[in-house]
């Protein structure tokens, strides 16, 4: 039986009005599309994250290593975790 693989730890970002949001232990190799504006990604997981300028993991991609932050003003519309 295959077990689901998840990035361990929190992935944080800022939403509208700089409100903080967190996703805990997100699954690897699944695209998450943001439902609202997002920026200032902080990858507190143990897996690399890639943020994308477009929905459904399209557009310009920026890789955020475990424990690292994207530039605060780097807006993104979707994110994927893992080595993909």
- The string of pLDDT tens digits covering residues 10-51 is 999 999 999 999 999 999 999 999 999 999 999 999 999 999
Per-residue confidence (pLDDT) for residue 1, from 0 to 100: 39
Residue 84: pLDDT over 90: no
Residues forming a β-bridge with 34 = none
Residue 52: pLDDT over 90: yes
User: Quick one: DSSP state of residue 72?
Assistant: T
Task: Judge whether 24 lies within some domain.
Answer: yes
- In 3D space, the residue among 27, 23, 22, 80 whose CA is nearest the CA of residue 56 turns out to be 80
Name the residue range of residue 62's domain: 10-81
Q: How many domains does the chain have?
A: 1
CATH of the domain at 52: 2.60.20
């Amino acid at each position: 039986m295959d077990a689901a693989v998840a990035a361990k730890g929190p992935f944080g970002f800022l939403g509208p009005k700089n409100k903080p949001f967190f996703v805990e232990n997100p699954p690897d190799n699944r695209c998450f599309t943001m439902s609202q504006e997002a920026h200032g990604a902080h990858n507190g997981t143990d897996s690399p994250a890639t943020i994308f300028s477009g929905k459904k993991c399209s557009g310009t991609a920026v890789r955020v290593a475990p424990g690292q932050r994207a530039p605060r003003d780097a807006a993104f519309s979707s994110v994927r975790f893992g080595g993909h």
